[in-house]
Chains A and B, each alone.
Chain A
Amino acid sequence: MMLAAVMAAAVLVAVAALLALVRVERGPSMLDRAVALDTLTVTLVCAIAIEAIWSRRTETIPILVALSMVGFVGSVTMARFAGKEPEDEGRVRTPEEVAAQARAADVPRGEQRDGVRAIDAEDDAESAGGAQR
């Protein structure tokens, strides 16, 4: 009987963690993610508790105390530093968008890098000359 109850509870908690993870991915704002991560931490506490229930062990209980503190500190810190976010920013971008943005940002950076490299080359030539002298 205990095995069935533990298995069922583990499945329920795992599904809850999965749903929280989906909310972390979707957002849309940082605070939604903070709230979802709080839930994720508590489902982790529940999972460890279920394991302790199954094996009747007490040595994992201090982990529960520590984890319940971590979840609180995390969400409060994120709430403290939450700012106004632009409408579209909270979304996770698709790989195509990331690649397009990287391409767009790469052109000027490439020029800059070439310029830096040219200056470096001059420096190298100077220092080489200095060494010869």
Chain B
Amino acid sequence: MTHVDPGLWTTIADTVAAVFLLAGAFLTLGAGVGLLRFPSLLARMHTVTKPQVLGLILLLTALALRVRSWSAVGMLVLVVAFQLVTSPVAAHMVGRAGFRTGKVDPDDLRPNEFGEPD
């Protein structure tokens, strides 16, 4: 095996980190744009759960590639796991509260498993 300059791996990791950083920031921007432009509560909730979490995961992956220390990676995994666990719960709570307080158009739901709103 030929000798590889250790600085090369640093360069590669930094380059990949830069790509992930840009992708994550772009997805976060997508979440912001969708939040502003989507017409209804459920559509806005969609931007807060999906692109935002993926953007955060990409950004934290970039951070992990950049700092390259296992203790930091452990905490970043914790952040990602927490986002993945909590964002469906938060979205469910918000969606249910929106439905019960009449902020969701029942025609958007098909099938409508909640029945008619009170």
Contact = CB atoms under 8 A, between A and B. Distances in A.
Question: Majority SS of interface residues in chain B?
Answer: helix
Given A1-B18, A42-B28, A72-B86, A31 B35 contact: no
B67 A2 contact: no
A74 B15 CA distance: 36
Interface size range on A against B: 35 or more
Interface residues of B, number: 52
A1 B10 CA distance: 14
Given A18-B32, A31-B103, A38 B90 contact: yes
Nearest to A11: B25
Interface string B77-116: 0110011001101100110111001110000000000000
A58 B29 contact: no
A29 B33 CA distance: 18
Contacts of B94: 31, 34-35, 75, 79
Interface stretch (A19-27, A94-102, A104-112, A121-129): A19-27
Given A1-B15, A45-B56, A35 B44 contact: yes
Contacts of A75: 90, 93-94
A53 to B, nearest CB: 5
Given A35-B48, A76-B89, A79-B90, A68 B83 contact: yes
Interface string B28-55: 1101110110000100110110001001
B2 interface: no
A80 B75 contact: no
Interface centre among A34, A36, A61, A82 (most CB of B within 10 A): A61
Interface of A: 1-2, 5-6, 8-10, 12-13, 15-20, 22-23, 29, 31-32, 34-36, 38-39, 42-43, 45-46, 49-50, 52-53, 56-58, 61-62, 64-65, 68-69, 72, 75-76, 79-80, 82-85
29 contacts: A1-B15, A8-B25, A9-B24, A9-B59, A12-B26, A13-B29, A16-B28, A16-B31, A19-B35, A29-B41, A31-B101, A35-B94, A36-B35, A39-B35, A42-B28, A46-B24, A46-B25, A46-B59, A50-B21, A50-B25, A53-B21, A53-B62, A53-B66, A65-B75, A68-B86, A75-B93, A76-B89, A80-B97, A82-B97
